[in-house]
Amino acid sequence: MYLRESATTLTPTSTRSQDIARELKTVIRLAGRDPEALEGKIPSLSALYRVAASGQRDEPARVHFILHRLIPEYLDRLPSGRDCRAIRELMTWEDGDGEILSLTTRYHKAAAHLVNAATDFGRRQEPRLLLECARRFIALDHEDRLPPPMTPIAAGAPADAPAEVAAQEAPILPLAVDDPRGGIVRVHRHLDYHQLIDHMAGADEIVMLNTWIPGLDILADALVDALARGTYVSILLLHPESNIAQLRNPALHGLARGRFGEDRVRPEIRHCLDVLAAVSGMVGEDCKRNLRVRLYNSLPSISVYGIDDRAFVSFFLHGQLSVKSTQIELLGQDSVMGQLVFQELQALWNSGQELDLTQPVTEIQSMRRGLTDIRSKQYLRQPAAAAAG
């Protein structure tokens, strides 16, 4: 929550998503048993484009439209991830026969979709899910406000056909290898986890390359769902005991001296391994084999979050996490940029060491001894190489 300073006090202000989340909290408690009590209490939901465009002039009609048209249609447009399935349960206050479902019943139904759902669902999970629902609703509201896309007339469609007809008949063509954009679809200010989860929902293959994966806890449920569907998931993390891991920590603190602080990189890598071990434990033996994790001991060049032919690519800058940096969205492994990125992925994967998630600590200790042996051999070869030169 942001604070705005006045002459005498600090007044809390809220974002639009927080306002809508608070209204949704009221909705799920009153919509079934006392919808009239919502009149005048949901101004942020009433301000959504679809409500204004519906032409409902009086408050009872607006509330009815929000409860019986807007919310059900928006819920249908949500993706199929665990959080969204839980949101649907939470926002369904009547069963198929029109009987009112208690909030406690909906808590239990929603919790069944989550991994390690807290016992105190109302305090821990409900606020998170309602805020996520509010963000999704705002994104759908933005989509509703946008004009329909202008699509070139498709081959075979009449030249004077309406744009929406042409859009339906126009084929979606893959990017050519020599496309002038080189496979770049767009550039984002940072990595959008919600967009990433949406793409993961229908993926056949997921690959992630980073020093560690900030926000892996957010992606954990989506990874469980993907593995359960048979999706292949490959994770590349920096070896926590490598020299590179020691160098990345001061780089994250910037170039100024005296600001290095405590080690952040290695604990974060180990946390990621714990999360991945938990993810592996949530799926059956057959699906578990589709999750492969390797640790690499090399200079990290790029961070990559790849879903099938799509990838979000960023760089390791000083003083900034890669997920907080500009993300280049690519499409097509055969495009100019796609070839560069996926070849780098393959090179690091080939050089990485496979990790057994059932005993990651033992595996890392074993790998650490291997790294020490490699460093010693490199050190011993240096004089000979110098003499030969």
Q: Which of 100-114, 140-154, 277-291 has the lowest average pLDDT?
A: 140-154
274, 248 contact by CB (below 8 A): no
Higher pLDDT, 365 or 88: 88
Q: Which of 28-32, 184-188, 204-208 has the lowest average pLDDT?
A: 184-188
324, 366 contact by CB (below 8 A): no
Higher pLDDT, 146 or 200: 200
pLDDT over 70, % of the chain = 73
So what's the pLDDT on residue 246?
A: 66
* Separation CA 237–CA 269 (nearest Å): 7
* Separation CA 45–CA 52 (nearest Å): 10
359-388: average pLDDT: 44
Q: In Å, what is the CA distance from 292 to each residue of 227, 265, 273?
A: 11, 21, 11
So what's the pLDDT on residue 249?
A: 59
Mean pLDDT of the chain: 77
127-156: average pLDDT: 73
**Helix, strand, coil percentages in the chain from 3-state DSSP, rounded to 5:** 50, 15, 35
Confidence of residue 179 (pLDDT cuts 50, 70, 90): low
Confidence of residue 301 (pLDDT cuts 50, 70, 90): confident
User: Beta partners for 291?
Assistant: 233
Q: Which residues contact 27 (CB under 8 A, 6 or more apart)?
A: 38, 42, 45, 66, 67, 71, 91
**Where in the chain are the domains?**
2-145, 184-369
Q: Is the pLDDT of residue 169 over 70?
A: no
* Separation CA 384–CA 363 (nearest Å): 33
Confidence of residue 17 (pLDDT cuts 50, 70, 90): confident
* Separation CA 33–CA 190 (nearest Å): 42
**CATH (residue range 184-369):** 3.30.870.10
Signed CA dihedral, 123, 114, 294, 342: sign only = negative
So what's the pLDDT on residue 136?
A: 87
Measured CA angle at 207 (ends 201, 211), to 5 deg: 125
Q: Is the pLDDT of residue 55 over 90?
A: no
Structural tokens at position 96: 């198929």
So what's the pLDDT on residue 365?
A: 55
Q: Is the pLDDT of residue 99 over 70?
A: yes
Give residue-wise pLDDT tens across range 271-296. Answer: 999 999 999 988 888 888 899 999 98
